[in-house]
Amino acid sequence: MEGSGRWICCRQQAGPLVKESRAVRPRMCRTDGPFERAEKNRILRPPRDSAVCRTRIDRLELLLALFGFEGWSYTLTFDDAHLPENFGGVRKRWRALLYRMKAYHSGVPDYVYLIEGKHGDHRYHLHLTVRYCDFPPLVMETLWQDGYIVESQPLLLGVFDTYRRTARYYCKERSDGVVIPIDARTWVASRSLTQKLPPPVYFRAECGRIDIPADNRVCGRFTVDNAWGHYHYGWYIEQDPKHPTVFEGRRVPHQHGAGRY
């Protein structure tokens, strides 16, 4: 761990998304009463959406952020003639699509996909995120030969949207052993994409201040300070250099709080 100081810090960047946490963590003690334990746990166990990378949603959020501002999401449905009877059949259809995608792309493209079938009309369907420049809608309509594309939209929907919204959506269905096998991964990312994710940087600092540039697309903070320790967390998405956000002649000011995250 680099540097010196009492604050233990972790910083992660993925594309335009930057996440950082700084903490002075307390130690649990056998003599702690209920109040002491509760206050210490506020530092040791921050909310799930206030950590650099602790959950599968955190991990997926970082991978989606690697698409930057080029990400494009599709919902691929099956027509009656091609509707698979089970999860294995859907995965077989996916492999056929991926084969065509590789042929068109002349190699393995970056992608994140998942199979769903437990909500709505309970028909199996695929969600897929790729780069628009790799697979624009007209190309994907040609490659998907088993039904219809019912949704085609940017990964980021508007000025204050985040990659975490899609990450949460992609993680909403759980394996049930019937529609989705127990051992099935709820989402899968290509190895070419996961290899692009840089490792987190751990370091020590003398203060807990997390600097967030005023010129950002959207951001948020979470802070806990009490008698036993401190936990500071901040995140932001950098501006799209090709299409900077402007509102009434000024860049949109950053947003605070986890509510927009």
For the stretch 21-77, pLDDT in tens is 999 999 999 999 999 999 999 999 988 888 898 889 999 999 999 999 999 999 999
Cα 234 to Cα 232: distance, rounded to the nearest angstrom? 7
For the stretch 194-231, pLDDT in tens is 999 999 999 999 999 999 999 999 999 999 999 999 99
CA distances from 95 to 19, 81, 86, 100 (A): 34, 18, 15, 9
Q: Please, are residues 20 and 53 in contact by the beta-carbon 8 Å criterion?
A: no
Give pTM, 2 decimals.
0.88
What values do phi and psi take at 151, rounded to 5? -150, 130
- Residue 142: both structure tokens together: 């040609």
Cα 164 to Cα 59: distance, rounded to the nearest angstrom? 10
In the predicted structure, residue 2 carries a pLDDT above the cut 90: no
Cα 96 to Cα 143: distance, rounded to the nearest angstrom? 10
In the predicted structure, residue 261 carries a pLDDT above the cut 60: no
Q: Which residues are CB-contacts of 223 (< 8 A; sequence separation ≥ 6)?
A: 231, 232, 233
For the chain, give the mean pLDDT: 88
Q: What is the pLDDT of residue 173?
A: 64
Only one residue has tokens 């940087």, namely 201
In the predicted structure, residue 125 carries a pLDDT above the cut 60: yes
In the predicted structure, residue 139 carries a pLDDT above the cut 90: yes
Q: Which residues pair with 24 in a beta bridge?
A: 230
In the predicted structure, residue 241 carries a pLDDT above the cut 90: no
Starting at the edge strand that comes first in sequence, how are the strands of the sheet with 17-24 ordered? 201-205, 7-14, 17-24, 229-238, 216-226
- Residue 242: both structure tokens together: 């090709």
Q: What is the pLDDT of residue 253?
A: 42
Q: Where are the alpha helices (DSSP H) in the chain?
A: 34-44, 56-65, 87-105, 137-143, 163-170, 191-194
